Every structure is written in structure tokens, then in C-alpha cells.
Structure 1
Amino acid sequence: MKRVAYSVETKYKVVEMKVAGFTTKEIMNALNIRNKTQVDTWWRWYRNGESYRFSQHVGKQYTYGKGPKELSEVEQLKLENKRKDVELEIFKKVQGIGKEVVPTVIIDLVDQLKDKYSIKLILEVLNISKSTFYRWKNKPLKKDTVTQKIIELCEANHYTYGYRKITALVNQCYTSPINHKRVQRIMQKYHLNCRVRPKKTTRLGKPYYKTDNLLQRQFKASCPMEVLTTDITYLPFGHSMLYLSSIMDIYNGEIVAYKIGDKQDQSLVNDTLNQIQIPEGCILHSDQGSVYTSYSYYQLCEEKGIIRSMSRKGTPADNAPIESFHSSLKSETFYLNKKLNSSNHIIIDIVEKYIKNYNNNRIQQKLGYLSPVKYRELAA
């Protein structure tokens, strides 16, 4: 078959279309190029900084220093700039990595940069031979210490933490900070991502003693026991239905009172409220459930000097903090491990242990990766 000689303009047009995101097949059809390998070769030359080869004759594509013509000053300058770009990008990537197994770092760097630069050019800058690189890549590598630590932390927290919280915990163990994007990649690679919470359905309540929404989704407080929020959630995991009534302090997200009962009645809510000493003038936010709009609840709040606030009808987002807590409780225990479903006594024990761990140990991003109790103690 007779070789086809393509013009320099055609070769640069191929590069231009590649950069624009066209596929090889689309480029071949548009420019009437017969061979796919030809397109790949021109693209490789361009990525290697060898675009000077576009003007060489068919069958005479010499590399630098091996052909009859040396590179022009312009082409040499382009090649040097390309190499400096790679060096600069590699320097940015390796900052903060710290001392680790060299093969792991190299493979990770090449994977990040290979879509932008050729593997050959990256390895030249790193002064690593292709044979060594592919030997590292094809040989199973032992997990580095950071990866092992991430796996341990995910297991210890029952895979309920996302990459941000895991990053905060990892950085407590190392002097050199570990980037959150690296933690995210490792968690994705080893399938360590936390469970996605199921969407909540709206629960409508019939208002009786209705009050205004004083919070307006501004869930902030300047000191403990200034703004509280409360709600009831179902616990359908035992031999019979159970209900959890909780009160949360908006200041640090701490559960300051809770009660578990087998009936969603007025005593469940009132008994929860009577567990704690609430300073006069404290705002207590709830939804418009019948237990919160009842005369009994209204009277109890009046006696304690509590200022009541209520969500709009059928709008759980107006009470987001306590809704989120109940969702986390179920997602990180019962939904995560359905084998936990057992007797009511065991269900109660699981909930009580979770709340204790939630208050004392479970870190929160908004609290600077501290637990609610630790945040309150440090603030005091």
C-alpha cells in the first residue's frame, strides 16, 4: 500500500481537534485520515514536545539528536517550557505527601498527570525508566501507612464517616498534613465511603397551640442552653414499635435529654423536658406535632419560662439539626447492620450507647472536628 503524506497543517489540525475533545474516529472522518495509528502518533509527538517532527518526510521521522537536522531554537524553547511545566506540576503534587513508599507516590503522580502530559515525559522529569515504572505498576504493592490508617479509622467508626472527617482524624496522627483529596481517592479505591442516608418523608401534624418560627433556619447560639430543638422519631427495629424523644442544644449539637418509650404520647415529651434544668428565656423549637401543640406542653413551657418556636407545617427542614441527628442514629446503627434488629431491650441499649458516643466521641466538622462535649468544655 502506498504511503500517504499529510501536510503539516493537517497534523496541527489533528492536535487542535484532540485538544478540543474530539474522538479519534471523528477526527479521521473529518480530515479523511486512513489510519488510527497515525492520529495517535501525531498526538504523542505533540504531548512529548516533538511537534518539530510534523515537518519531516514520511519514513524520516528522526528524534532529537539522531537525524540530519537539529531542532530550531523555537522548537528547543517549546520543549524546555513543556518540561518545566511538568516539573512545576509535579512539585505542586508532591508537596505535603511526606515520606512514603516511592513506587506508590510515582504511580499516583503518573495517574494524575498522564491525561495532560505523556508518561514518557513525566518519567524523564522524575528520572525513572519506563521498565522500572511498569514493573512497579504491574507488581502488587503493599498498602502504605496512610492507606492502612485510613482503613483502620473507617473500620473503627463502622464506615459512618465521610472523607472530610477521616482526613481530620488522619491529620491528628501525622505531622505533615494529608490532603483531603488524597483521602477521598483512597476511600473510593477501597470502597470505604460512608452509607448514603435515605430521604425522609414529611410528617404532617395538626396544630392547636401553634407559635411562630423564631429560628427561621438560623441554627446558631452564642452559649449553651440558649436555643434547644426537640423531636420524636420512630424505632421500628424491635419486637414492637418504640419512640425516641430527644432534645438537642443548638450551641454544640449535644443531646441534653432523651427518653425512649413504647407510646408516642404526651408523657413521653413532658418527661423528656423535665429531665433538665432550662434557664428562663431559652428558645425551644419543635415541629407542629400534636404533642407539641397540646395544652399540657404549652403549660409546661410557660411554667419553665421557655419561649416556644415551631416549624412551618410539613417542613422538616425547619428543624434540621434534630432531624439530622435521628437520621444519623438510624443510618449508623440499624440501617447499616440489619442484624442489630432484635428485642426491645437491645434496641434501647444500642440507642443509649449511640447517644453517649455521639455526645462524647463523635466528631463534627462544624465544631472544628471536636465532639459536642469536648467543644463545650473547651469553650468554657
Structure 2
Amino acid sequence: MPTYPDRYQIIEEMKDRYPITWLTEMAKVERSGYYKWIKNGKTSSRKQADIVLKEHILSIHQKYKMYGYPRMKIALREKGFHVNHKKVYRLMCELGIHSIIRKKRRVWKNQMSRVFDNVLKRQFNERTENEVFVTDITYLPTKSGFLYLSAVQDLYNNEIVAWKISERNDLELVMDTLQELTAKRNVYRSIIHSDQGFQYTSIKYHQTVEQLGMIGSHSRKGNCHDNACIESFFSHFKSECLYLLHDHSADEVRQAVEEYIYFYNYQRFQKRLNHLAPIEYRHQMAA
């Protein structure tokens, strides 16, 4: 015989299809008991489940930015998550993500958002210092939600030159990261490459890139391999650091980012750099 919590869980899963009164009668439980179960623990469990679902949604979105909520629902189902389209739509809205296919560009003062040509064209190797910068944003799951890491990488030595963390995945995060880059490096006539996220196709970003004398470059739609280098850095960070944390509090995640980027720049040797760390390689080549 199923326990009372098991029966309540079954009722919760079927309540969108059948009346609560009928379900509680069939399960031989009181409605008051079911509602008390919801009040005492179901809400917290649902929030935790939503965090897990959001992490998978963001992971899928990083790879398939063309997915709207109908295809996202199918992708989640293939991962073993059976959720209805309304919930997928709600979670995607909370995350601020959407499909980039057949999406009308927003207009500011009769000007459409801008897309740069793909100047980089996957020519990642044999670049000089400050010649090409690549940038992107990744999500960082915490116990209380998500943080967002924006980073800029110099393809000359794979060094992470600038980075910022925010609780919001917005244009301000990108602009703050770009400002940090310009404070550290001479970016005149440098290529700055990114995907076609809404921040990077905004009028303000486009104007700033041109005012700085930089050359803007965008990946093709839905093609993460066009920005493979920064994606590779994010992957290394998550597998070598983030996923090993015991406590995913926001403060610990922020500290982990700072410590890992220092380790990556100063200590993590790379075969392409003659088995030197990025900054060590830069100093040796300048000597």
C-alpha cells in the first residue's frame, strides 16, 4: 500500500487532469491532509525541482539556442523530465531565454539591433596579442538560484582578460565586462567575437564596439562551434571546479570563479602554449 506522501505525490502529478476531490477519494486520503502536505513540504521540493530543471534548460539552450519552449519540452523529455509546456514556458521566461529563430528584432528609435559578419570564421590559432578577443556568458547554478559569468578571452594565449559575475543575464553585465577589458588592454582594431545573444546584438553594444575602434564579429545563429574557445574554457571551469563544490552557495561560487581564473591564467599549463600557463607564456614570448 502506498504511503500517504506517495499518494499525495500521485495526486499532485494528476491534478491537472482530474478533480482534486475525485483524486483524494480514490486515494482514500482527506483533502485537508493533501493541502497540509503541500504547505509543509511540497513548495520547497518544487523549488528545488525547478532549479534542477532550469539547469538542464540552460544547458540545452547553450547548445541549441534555436529551441523555443515546444522543442525544449521534447529535449527535456529525452533527458527523462516529463513536464508540460506551460511549466517549460514559465521556467524559460524566469531565466530570460528564448528561441533566436524567427524572432523579430526589437527596434529602438527606428533602428534594428545589429548583427556583425562572422569575421573570425573559426580561425582561432596563430593570433597575436590583443588581435582577437572572444566573449560569452555562462550560467552558474547555486543553492539560491543562478549567477551569470561573463568572460573575455585573448586567443593569443587563451588568457581570461576580463570577467564579471551578476545575478542578471542582461546588457549591463556585458557592458561592464567590456569596460574592464578596455581598462586592461589596447583594443583598437582588435576583433571582439561573440554569439548572437540579445546583449551582443543590441544597439548599445554595437555602438560601443565601433566607438572603441574594435571590429565586431558574430557567430552564425545556433552554432556554438563558432565560439568554441570560450565555450571550452567554461567547460573546463565547470568540470574541474564548479561541479566539485560541496556547497553551491552564491558566495562560494563567486570565490570559486575568482580562484579558478587565477589558477587558469597563472598555473594551468596548456599543450598549445608549449606546456606553459597563459600568462607565463605571454611573459616568456615578450622576454
> Which TM-score bucket, shorter chain as reference?
0.5 to 0.7
Match of 1:297 among 165, 186, 205: 205
CA contact (8 A) 1:334 1:340 kept: no
Give 1:1-380 correspondences, 5 Å limit.
201-204=63-66, 205=100, 208-277=113-182, 278-335=186-243, 337-341=244-248, 343-380=249-286
Match of 2:50 in 1: none
The count of aligned residue pairs is: 181
CA contact (8 A) 1:221 1:227 kept: no
CA contact (8 A) 2:132 2:191 kept: yes
Shift of 1:338: 4.7
CA contact (8 A) 1:231 1:322 kept: yes
Distance in 1 (alpha carbons) for counterparts of 2:190 and 2:204: 18
Shift of 1:303: 1.1
SS in structure 2 at match of 1:339: coil
SS in structure 2 at match of 1:347: helix
Shift of 1:311: 0.5
Distance in 2 (alpha carbons) for counterparts of 1:353 and 1:253: 17
Amino acid corresponding to residue 220 of structure 1 in structure 2: N
Q: What TM-score does the superposition give when structure 1 sets the normalisation length?
A: 0.46
The runs of at least 4 consecutive aligned structure 1 residues that moved more than 4 Å come to none
Shift of 1:201: 2.6
Shift of 1:221: 4.5
Higher relative contact order (CA 8 A, sep 6+): 2
Amino acid corresponding to residue 330 of structure 1 in structure 2: K
Instruction: Pick closer, same or farther for the CA change 1:364–1:340 going to 2, 3 Å.
Output: farther
CA contact (8 A) 2:127 2:155 kept: no
Deviations 1:190-215 (A, max 9, x none): xxxxxxxx996322446631111111
Q: Which structure dedicates a bigger proportion of its chain to strand?
A: 2
Shift of 1:239: 1.6
CA contact (8 A) 1:333 1:340 kept: no
| Gapped regions of structure 1 (runs ≥ 5) | 1-197
Distance in 2 (alpha carbons) for counterparts of 1:259 and 1:238: 20
SS in structure 1 at match of 2:216: strand
| Gapped regions of structure 2 (runs ≥ 5) | 1-58, 67-99, 106-112
Shift of 1:220: 2.5
Q: Percent identity?
A: 45
Q: Which protein has the larger Cα radius of gyration, Structure 1 or Structure 2? A: 1
Instruction: Pick closer, same or farther for the CA change 1:308–1:375 going to 2, 3 Å.
Output: same
Q: What TM-score does the superposition give when structure 2 sets the normalisation length?
A: 0.60
Deviations 1:90-137 (A, max 9, x none): xxxxxxxxxxxxxxxxxxxxxxxxxxxxxxxxxxxxxxxxxxxxxxxx
